[in-house]
């Protein structure tokens, strides 16, 4: 079992090394510092998405869901559109990155906590209804964004469209410290409650009879998901199905349902996929921004495969 862990760690190290040192060229100091920042960003986003997806699948007791379908990406796009529409192009471009990042994260976390909190209080254990509500809210946000986008002039629309596609290449290194703080805090908390998450995964009646404060832990897990997804989305843009691949592979590789093992495994796999994929696309294939589109495509196929094999829970 631990051999797999070592192997994955080695693979991640190799991927990072390849990303950093492949084709350095003459001005290596500059290139290296640039790449280190991007690498850190990718590792952060990978870890955040991995942990968020595993937690979300545990809470929803469902292996085909990712937290991003709950309308996070739509809310993000709506925020970008609303910002451009209200501030204008120059105002949007002049926004200080840390301020914009903080505001986005706070709004997304607040929105999801309002959704999770009120709905869990009201619907009790009806997680499917909660998720469906999130999905429909996502449609609502997307339509509202489309509505606003119709009122924009073409230049402003192009800016919104650029912001609406995820790109791992445009991670802003100024934001990394605060993003790292939030992500590491949330992941640390998740690892700390990992044994209790194992009990949560057994379902509400069993968990309660085993003495678990079920609803409170569930709210905590959802809050962690909200923080992680918000940070990842604000950092690189909307990514929906990446977490699905990661969580699926982590379940296969870990061969256990214990979160203390599942969570690190998922983080390693996410790092390997992101860094390896970016190295491949950037250096070997010479493509710049299509990694996110390919990840969505492959993630979609992976989802269909999961469904057809009946691996729903």
Partner 1 sequence: MRPALALTLALLPLSAASLLIGAADMDLATLGTDPQAALILTVSRLPRTLAVILTGAALAIAGVVMQQLVRNRFVEPGTTGTAESAALGLLAVTLIAPAAPIWIKMVAASLAAMAGTALFLRLIRRLPAREVLLVPLVGIVLSTILGAMVTFIGWQTDLLQMISIWLFTGEFSGVIAGRYELLWIAAAAAALAWFAADRFAILGLGQETATGLGLNPDAVMRLGLVVVAVVTALVIVTVGMIPFIGLVVPNIVARSMGDNLRATLPVTAAGGAALVLVCDITGRLVRYPYEVPVGTVLGVVGSLLFLWLLYREPARG
DSSP label at residue 118: H
Distance from C-alpha of 195 to C-alpha of 200, rounded to nearest angstrom: 9
Shortest gap between Cβ of 95 and partner 1 (angstroms)? 26
Residue 137 or 199 with smaller CB distance to partner 1: 137
Asked if residues 254 and 267 have their Cβ atoms less than 8 Å apart, the reply is: no
CA 134, 136, 137, 138 dihedral sign is positive
Residue 137 or 169 with smaller CB distance to partner 1: 137
Shortest gap between Cβ of 128 and partner 1 (angstroms)? 4
Asked if residues 119 and 53 have their Cβ atoms less than 8 Å apart, the reply is: no
Write the burial class of residue 268 (CB in 10 Å: 0-12 exposed, 13-18 middle, 19+ buried).
buried
Asked if residues 244 and 64 have their Cβ atoms less than 8 Å apart, the reply is: yes
Angle at 284 between CA 278 and CA 289, to 5 degrees: 40
Residue 126 or 252 with smaller CB distance to partner 1: 126
Shortest gap between Cβ of 247 and partner 1 (angstroms)? 14
Shortest gap between Cβ of 104 and partner 1 (angstroms)? 22
Going by C-alpha positions, the residue among 274, 291, 270 that lies closest to residue 8 is 270
Shortest gap between Cβ of 146 and partner 1 (angstroms)? 5
Residue 238 — left, alpha, or beta (φ > 0 → left; ψ -120 to 50 → alpha)?
beta
Shortest gap between Cβ of 298 and partner 1 (angstroms)? 10
Shortest gap between Cβ of 12 and partner 1 (angstroms)? 27
Distance from C-alpha of 207 to C-alpha of 202, rounded to nearest angstrom: 6
DSSP label at residue 152: S
What are the residues binding partner 1 (CB under 8 A)? 62, 64-65, 69, 126, 128-129, 131-133, 135-137, 139-140, 142-144, 146-147, 150-151, 240-241, 290, 293-294, 296-297, 300-301, 303-304, 307-308, 310, 312
Residue 66 or 279 with smaller CB distance to partner 1: 66
Shortest gap between Cβ of 288 and partner 1 (angstroms)? 13
What's the Cα-to-Cα distance from 304 to each of 71, 132, 233, 300, 308, rounded to whole Å?
A: 21, 19, 24, 6, 6
Residue 216 or 309 with smaller CB distance to partner 1: 309
Residue 98 or 121 with smaller CB distance to partner 1: 121
Residue 257 or 311 with smaller CB distance to partner 1: 311
Helix/strand number for the chain, H first, E second: 13, 0
Residue 33 or 118 with smaller CB distance to partner 1: 118
Annotate 227-253 with DSSP letters as a single string: HHHHHHHHHH----SHHHHHHHHHHHH
Distance from C-alpha of 43 to C-alpha of 232, rounded to nearest angstrom: 11
Shortest gap between Cβ of 276 and partner 1 (angstroms)? 20
Residue 213 or 307 with smaller CB distance to partner 1: 307
């Amino acid at each position: 079992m631990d051999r797999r862990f070592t192997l994955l760690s080695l693979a991640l190290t190799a991927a990072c090394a390849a990303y950093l040192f492949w084709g350095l060229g003459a001005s290596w100091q500059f290139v290296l510092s640039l790449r280190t920042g991007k690498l850190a960003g990718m590792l952060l986003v990978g870890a955040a998405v991995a942990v968020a997806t595993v937690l979300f699948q545990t809470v929803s007791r469902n292996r085909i869901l990712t937290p991003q379908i709950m309308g996070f990406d739509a809310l993000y796009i709506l925020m970008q559109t609303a910002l451009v529409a209200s501030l204008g192009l120059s105002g949007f471009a002049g926004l200080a990155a840390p301020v914009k990042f903080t505001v986005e994260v706070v709004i997304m976390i607040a929105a999801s906590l309002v959704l999770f909190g009120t709905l869990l209080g009201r619907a009790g254990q009806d997680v499917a209804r909660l998720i469906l509500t999130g999905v429909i809210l996502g449609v609502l946000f997307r339509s509202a964004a489309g509505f606003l986008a119709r009122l924009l002039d073409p230049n402003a629309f192009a800016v919104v469209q650029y912001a609406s596609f995820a790109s791992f290449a445009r991670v802003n290194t100024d934001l990394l410290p605060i993003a790292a703080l939030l992500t590491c805090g949330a992941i640390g908390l998740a690892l700390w409650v990992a044994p209790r998450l194992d009990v949560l995964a057994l379902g509400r009646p069993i968990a309660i009879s085993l003495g678990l404060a079920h609803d409170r832990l569930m709210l905590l897990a959802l809050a962690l998901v909200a923080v992680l997804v918000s940070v990842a989305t604000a950092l690189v843009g909307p990514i929906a199905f990446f977490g699905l691949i990661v969580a699926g592979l982590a379940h296969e590789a870990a061969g256990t349902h214990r979160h203390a093992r599942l969570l690190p495994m998922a983080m390693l796999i996410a790092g390997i996929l992101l860094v390896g994929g970016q190295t491949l696309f950037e250096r070997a294939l010479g493509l710049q921004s299509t990694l996110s589109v390919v990840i969505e495509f492959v993630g979609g196929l992976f989802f269909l495969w999961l469904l057809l094999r009946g691996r729903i829970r």
